[in-house]
Each structure stands twice: as structure tokens, then as C-alpha cells.
Amino acid sequence: MNIKTVGSVCSGIEAASVAWEPLGLNFEWFSEIDEFPSKILEERYPDKVNVGDMNDIPDKIIDKSISSPDLICGGTPCQAFSLAGLKKGLTDDRGNLTLKFVDIIESNDKIRRNNNLDKTIVFWENVEGVLSDKTNAFGCLVSSLAGLDEIIPRKKWPNAGIIYGPCRNVAWRVLDAKYFGLPQQRRRLYLLAGGKTFHPENVLFELHENNFPDYPKVPLTFTKDGHNYEIFREYTDCLYSAYGTKWNGNAAARNGSLFVVQDDRIRRLSPLETERLMGFPDNYTDVNTGRRSNRTSRYKATGNSWVVPVIKWFGERLIDQNKCELDLNPDSFSNRNCKKMDDSTLVLLDKELTTLVSGETINCSSIPEKVVFGTMEDIVSPNAPEKIYLSPVGCYGIVRRAEERNAKINPRLKEVLLSISSEMEYEEIEKKSRVQKRGAFSQKISENKKASNQTVLFDFNEK
């Protein structure tokens, strides 16, 4: 299929456009409702229409108020399947948007069928937690896309697999961004689907010919642009959308991977650095909103987005099928991997490497065959806002919370935090804490005495 046009659902700040437009794909419409990302789209893509609420897209496609593109991409809200979102799955309205996504594809296919065009190519991304969602949201999605009459029941789906369905072929794979040139550990699930003549598995999976490398060790101290830096690990934890406000009490605050020491002071990553960590151009999210872009909004926008180099990898393989080394079909897999159904075949790839009937080995792991590594030295920038530096009190708070929770903390990080928080500041902080606790305790005693006196008085009067 010759892919030229794209429609984007849950567009965010459009990592897909950044990755695919240079490859020649034309985005015909976006769909985003959040104010700040919508402002970015308006400024960065003034000639593109933002149709707003994705719930309205099926009707808009049917009445031809928007086009029916060759490919539709989207990452329906991941919060319903993440730990932060309490993993409510399809019982969460945001989770139900996964099924609305299928409605969009069906409407698009209806118009394309009337115009004698191939079925829509589908690209969908989400957190890997959707694979173990208790409401089986992923099973609902892939079964619906494949055109099955019944939902495939599974408590947990493997990280890679294929469904050769009566309506569409569907394939999925988990990939990690830290092997695509960015120093960020970010595992995400990617799904491709299309009509019966389209084989997404040939795009997603690779012929395995190379050994998987270990992540390289690099110096954790370096000098750049006249400034001295120290980092605490070669790559960061996953950048999350609440990084702007909840940066001091989670795992990343204890391993230090989302902190950087600049000239003996410790700070968070700046919005510019988080853009780089996701593969965006510098200052991509710094748009004119009538006031200078709010840092929290920029952190949220980047943390919710896709990783540009991973999306580019997909685009290159989709557009140029010669980049795909495989020619797979249901007969390529052994009986161990296949489950034959009435009108479809389910292939579950529960190992990182799978041996085919032909004897060849395919890579369905989170690591691509051609690995590219990036470094935090490429990410850091000296122009960090003063407000993102950690105060002595903030440094002490991270150590204190870790100790209270009996949680491990990076030894070097702890040393840096303690060096910034002087002994005098410790004493002042602890003294203040003791005074506050005594005050709260005294107030509680006073309240108890008052309640006791009131009770006695009440009893006396009753007698």
C-alpha cells in the first residue's frame, strides 16, 4: 500500500508529525482537546485543522467534513492502564476511548471502501500496562480490529504477537526508547494493523542477525559549554507527565536519573532538556500563549508524548517496505506459537527471539537489530531556570522521605544531597519539625481535654 496521508487522534504535541512529515507523509487533521498541546499545534502547524474531540471523528468522516486518510495514528489515554491512573481499564472513561478508536477506523474504512481504496493502516501506542489490564482492554482492541466475533480472553498478553483475522491483520511489539538514540528508558507498546493484504508483522519484527549489546558505560562527570556536570546513571527513568510537580518523592528522585548536577548544584531537567530527551527540536514546546510557556505545562506535554526516533523508525519501514527483511504468514510459525481459530490465527510471541519453521530467527524483543545509543551529555543545557534548582530543604526532604520509607537511594545522590544540606540546616530543619510535632501533639491533648470536660459536664447536667 502506498501511504501518503495521515489522520492523528489524541495528537498531543505531534511527535508523529515531527517524525513522519520529513519522510513525505502529509497530516490532514489532528484531534486534541487539551489547551496547551492545542496551542502548540496551532503555532507549529497553522495550516492543519484540529478537529477536537475524538468522539466526533466517526461522524465527521462519514459526512466527509474531514478526509479519510491512508493511515490513522493515535495513543488513546494511557492513564487508564498505568499505575498512576489506578489501572481502571475499560471502567475508566479514558480507557473506553480505546474502543472509540476502533469506531474511527471502521468509519474511515467505510468511506475508503466506497472509493475502492485499501483499508486504513492503523498505528496505536500505549503503556505496556495495557497488556495486563484486568478488563482485557487490549483483547477488546485487537479482537475488534481483527474482526473477530468474540473477544479473545486473556489475563495477560505477551509483549509481541500477531492476529491474522478475517477483517484485518494485527501485530504488536514493545520497544524501549533507550536503544533508539535517546538516554531514556521508556518501554511502550506499538500496534500496527491493516487489511488482509497488509502484513504489519513484517514491519514490526526483524530478522535476527546481531547480538544484543549491553548499554555502554560512560563517564558520569563531564564538562560542556564551560560548565561542570554530574549525572547519576547513563540513562534516565521514563519521563512522566507529572514531572513538573511530583519530582521529589518517587523512584526517579531516589535513583537520581532525572536530576543533574551543574556546577556543584543539583537540579531537575529543564523543559528544553526534556524536549531533547523525547527527540523534539529545541524549544518546540515554548510557544506564545500570551505569556511565557508554563514549565509545568511543557513538562506535561513532553511526558505525555511519543519518542520521535522510535516513531521515525516505524515510518521509515512503513514507507519503504524494502527495509523489512521478513515475509511472514501464519505458516511461518510453529504450533507452539500458534492458536488456530475458526477464521483466524493467533500468534503469541512470548520470547524475545522466536525461531521460525524455516529455521530463521526473528527479533520481537524491546531492542531493535540496529541499536543507537545516546548520552546525557547530548541532553544537558547550561541555560536552566533558577527555579528548577533544588533548595537545601528540598535536598534534605528527598533523603528524609527515602529513610522514612526504608527505600534505597543512590549512594552518590545521597552524598550530593547531604553536601548541599549543611549540618546547620539539618539542625534547623529538624528543630522546626520537632516544634511542629510538639505543637500538633499539644493541640491534640487540648482537644481531648476539651472533649473530656464537655462530656463530664453533659453527664452532670443530665443527672
Buried b (16+ CB within 10 A) or exposed e, 432-446: eeeeeeeeeeeeeee
pLDDT at position 82 is 41
Question: Is the separation of the CB atoms in 160 and 212 below 8 Å?
Answer: no
Residue 162: strand pairing partners: 171, 347
Q: In what order do the strands lie in the sheet with 206-207?
A: 206-207, 361-363, 353-355
CA 339 to chain centre: 31
| Grid coordinates belonging to 32 | 486534541
| Alpha helix ranges (H) inside 271-420 | 271-278, 295-303, 308-319, 376-379, 392-404, 411-420
pLDDT at position 72 is 98
pLDDT at position 89 is 43
Q: Which domains does the chain have, with CATH numbers?
A: 5-209+306-363 (3.40.50.150)
Q: Which residues in the chain show pLDDT less than 50?
A: 78-89, 92-95, 424, 455-463
pLDDT at position 341 is 87
Question: Is the separation of the CB atoms in 367 and 179 below 8 Å?
Answer: yes
pLDDT at position 94 is 47
Phi, psi of 329 (to 5 degrees): -155, 175
Please state, rounded to an integer, the average pLDDT across all residues of the chain. Answer: 89
| Grid coordinates belonging to 384 | 536552566
Cβ neighbour number for residue 411 with a 10 Å cutoff:
10
Taking only the tens place, the pLDDT of each residue in 73-97 is 998 774 444 444 444 445 544 446 7
**Contacts (Cβ under 8 Å, ≥6 apart) of 377:** 218, 222, 224, 229
